[in-house]
């Protein structure tokens, strides 16, 4: 489902950074190192162009894909005795009801103050996309940051390689500003995006969102204080957690348009089985 888009300074900044990194990498770093017209130069340019195109494409999809709206017809199933957890708030025991949207919301849904609506399985609101990361675009967002970190590291390698070439003319001096700006941009981006990829891999393996992670820290502390052992109720195993977001086909994990349409049903079936097993024990 597509969503409307409003102008954002942060999105413009990211777009400008992608364009700058691409132009400097292809027309400066590759050209200075191996020559853009040579076979190695064309191969590197083609490989980096592929990464840049996939990065821009997945970024656009993440921006315009609706993260997941709570259906206006949603009503919690009060009579379902097997699904007895996470239909209530952390405090008070009332059914989860959003005062701002004036309707009930399902488990894992949260209200975004920026978007001014509830988002299904909300992870966080990303100002760099001017959109929330939720159930419908979580995989697209993850694929984008994977392509982004690969492109940054690749560009950084080409930058370092081009610096090792001794040139007899003054071309290196003319590109000195490009090298300085690129270095100041690529090093922190590679580190930050690398950490971000690792962080979201950890969350996916645990079947947690960023919101649930921070809530889980407090819940774990309260459980240990009361002498109980805390476990994340949506954790159904590392592999099952991973394919519930990325899908069962490994070849489609890096394709932003490939979405496992049965992932929600697949997850809910596994979750209901765990609930029934726990009830029987």
Q: Where are the alpha helices (DSSP H) in 81-225?
A: 138-163, 171-174, 176-206, 210-225
Q: Find out whether 206 and 232 touch, Cβ atoms under 8 Å.
A: yes
- Extract the tokens encoding 44: 């590197």
Residue of 115, 118, 126, 132 marked catalytic: 126
Other Cβ atoms within 10 Å of 167 Cβ, number: 11
Q: What residue has token string 């399902």?
A: 106
Angle at 96 between CA 90 and CA 100, to 5 degrees: 115
CA separation, residue 277 to residues 174, 270, 280 (Å):
69, 11, 5
The 3-state DSSP class for residue 136 equals: coil
Residue 126 a catalytic site member:
yes
β-bridge partners, 111: 118
| Residues classed as catalytic | 126
């Amino acid at each position: 489902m597509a969503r409307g888009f409003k102008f954002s300074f942060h999105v413009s900044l990211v777009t400008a950074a992608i364009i700058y990194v691409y132009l400097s990498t292809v027309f400066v770093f590759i050209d200075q190192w191996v020559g853009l017209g040579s076979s190695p130069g064309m191969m590197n340019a083609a490989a980096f162009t592929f990464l840049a195109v996939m990065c821009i494409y997945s970024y656009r999809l993440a921006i315009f894909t609706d993260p997941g709206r709570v259906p206006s017809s949603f009503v919690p199933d009060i009579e379902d005795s097997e699904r007895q957890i996470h239909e209530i708030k952390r405090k008070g025991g009332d059914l989860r009801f959003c005062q701002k949207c004036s309707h009930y919301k399902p488990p894992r849904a949260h209200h975004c103050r920026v978007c001014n609506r509830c988002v299904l399985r909300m992870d966080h609101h990303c100002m760099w996309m001017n959109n929330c990361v939720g159930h419908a675009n979580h995989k697209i967002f993850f694929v984008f940051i994977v392509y982004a970190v690969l492109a940054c590291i690749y560009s950084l390698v080409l930058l370092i390689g081009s610096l090792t070439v001794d040139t007899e003319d003054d071309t290196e001096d003319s590109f000195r500003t490009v090298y300085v700006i690129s270095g100041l941009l690529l090093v922190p981006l590679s580190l930050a995006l690398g950490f971000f990829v690792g962080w979201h891999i950890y969350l996916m393996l645990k079947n947690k969102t960023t919101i649930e992670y921070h809530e889980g820290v407090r819940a774990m502390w309260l459980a240990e204080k009361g002498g109980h052992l805390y476990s994340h109720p949506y954790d159904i195993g590392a592999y099952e957690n991973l394919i519930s977001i990325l899908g069962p086909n490994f070849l489609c994990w890096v394709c932003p348009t490939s979405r496992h349409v049965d992932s929600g049903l697949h997850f809910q079936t596994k979750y209901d089985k765990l609930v029934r097993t726990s009830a029987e024990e």
